[in-house]
Amino acid sequence: MPEASNAPVPGTSFPRGYRLLFKRDYQFVFADPVRHSAGCLTTLARANNLGFPRMGLAISKRHARTAVARNRIKRVARESFRQHVPQLAAFDVVVLAGAGITGRSNRQLFDAFTRHWQALSQKCVASSSS
């Protein structure tokens, strides 16, 4: 698990430090999440003490049947997250796909992720201060 001094440099990639890598990272989020759902996406987040955000993906075969569809959703999620890292609060987030996600264009998905990041940043800051 990266330390705050080892924080990834935002901007050009989606480095390992920005990813939820271990089962315990996902369990941390699932234990007491701040939830945001809209349309075909659900995001679960929990404030962390690292000083930077991290993201994990849980895109199931139930809603995105083909590997091509799941990988497209993951690519859009990673790119959106990467572009918004400088504006995000320090939280761990898990992205879940819902019914109808494969019918969305990349632009629609990107816009949906943008709205999720903004809402989660506000909710996580509010929940960590109370």
Which residue range(s) make up the domain with 86? 15-124
Contact 120, 54 (CB under 8 A): no
**Position 19 in a domain:** yes
Q: Report the alpha-carbon distance of residue 104 to residue 119 in Å, rounded.
A: 20
3-16 tens-digit pLDDT = 444 555 555 677 88
**Position 10 in a domain:** no
**Position 38 in a domain:** yes
31-46 tens-digit pLDDT = 999 898 988 899 999 9
Q: Report the alpha-carbon distance of residue 10 to residue 87 in Å, rounded.
A: 10
**Position 129 in a domain:** no
Neighbouring CB atoms inside 10 A of 12's CB total 7
Q: Output the six-digit token pair for 126.
A: 């509010």
**Position 6 in a domain:** no
**Position 7 in a domain:** no
What parts of the chain have a pLDDT lower than 70?
1-12, 124-130
Number of domains into which the chain is organized? 1
CATH number for the domain spanning 36: value is 3.30.230.10
